[in-house]
Amino acid sequence: MFLADEIRRLKKERNAVILAHNYQSAEIQELADHVGDSLGLAYRAAETEADVIAFCGVHFMGETAKIVNPGKTVVIPDLDAGCSLSDSCPPEKLAAYLAEHADRNYYVVAYINCSAGVKALSDVICTSGNAVKIVESVPPDRNILFVPDENLGAWVTEQTGRPMTLWKGNCYVHVEFTRQSIEKIRAEYPDAPVVAHPECTQAVRLLADEVCSTEKMVGYCKNSPAGAFIIVTESGMLHRLRREIPDKTFIPGPTDHCACADCRYMKMNTLEKLRDCLRDLSPQILIPEDLRARAEAPIRRMLELSRT
Ligand code: 13P
Ligand code: SF4
């Protein structure tokens, strides 16, 4: 039996839903029930009626699905698919920082790209799709500590005017794009708007016509009168855009060394591993209940705030 047919059969047998992030490979996106950004997939995970969630993304995304679905089985194709951004903020370091700066009484806004341990220490979670709205909802008299992405945090401050203390973390993929590499491709395609993810550095964001989450990139490119776009984010996004907007051209933003940028963690997932995790119901995401409950509150706060 073909691998794709086997996955469809197992999905039915397990009453499973397959959620895939926009950075997954083309074959995985084609098989998924829902493809989206972190915010969209967090909603899908919170709303699903399935018994099993197979999350094709990275570890913190599967963990988020489990936090809002403690009664369901959450499997991921590869337990080692982590995230450099999440790794840059270990919970013990955050706890120590908060204790050391207790006088600041920080309101902690955590980008969803973090572990359950960091979520449990936070007041509210945000994604790149709702970060501006979430930060605007923080009581004006509170000092904000934004973790773990200094680039997304700096962009949110530019948008809102709200000063924040920024944790010094970043995404190893998005910081590879440089002013030089984007200026070079822009010179080749002068009519193509540059669309960049807010995890890029300020030097790159300043060159962009639009800075937004991966999901918002789809809407921007659909509604723009332009026929070609330079997409400055992980390469999987190109497949999503080409599939959904087949009449337009999408050019990957290059780095100084490569024609496009791949996230090695996102690309650890394969169809074989997806089949295996559905067949074996392993590897599973398991979280101690007290930690899960503490991590759930700030996610629920985010889901409520971004709905209104
Ligand atoms: P989005 O929420 O925009 O999909 O971003 C997730 C991510 O990991 C970006 O590197
Ligand atoms: Fe993490 Fe960056 Fe990969 Fe996104 S692209 S999962 S932020 S390492």
Tell me the per-residue pLDDT of 32-43, one tens digit each, with 9 for 90 and over.
Answer: 999 999 889 988
What pLDDT digit, counting tens, does each position of 182-221 carry?
Answer: 999 999 999 999 999 999 999 999 999 999 999 999 999 9
Q: Which ligand is the nearest neighbour of the Cα of 88?
A: 2
Hey, which residues does 145 pair with through a beta bridge?
A: 108, 165
Give yes or no for residue 221 CB within 6 A of ligand 2: no
What pLDDT digit, counting tens, does each position of 65-99 carry?
Answer: 999 999 999 999 999 999 999 999 999 999 999 99
Query: Ligand 2 atom 8: the closest Cα is on which residue?
Result: 83
pTM: 0.96
Question: Concatenated DSSP letters for 36-104?
Answer: E-HHHHHHHHHH---SEEEEES-HHHHHHHHHH-TTSEEE-S-TT---HHHHTS-HHHHHHHHHHTGGG
Mean pLDDT within 109-122? 98
Q: Which ligand is the nearest neighbour of the Cα of 213?
A: 1
Q: Say how many Å lie between the CA of residue 38 and the centre of ligand 1.
A: 6
Q: Which ligand is the nearest neighbour of the Cα of 175?
A: 2
Ligand 1 atom with least separation from CA of 39: 2
Q: Say how many Å lie between the CA of residue 37 and the centre of ligand 1.
A: 6
Ligand 1 atom with least separation from CA of 57: 8
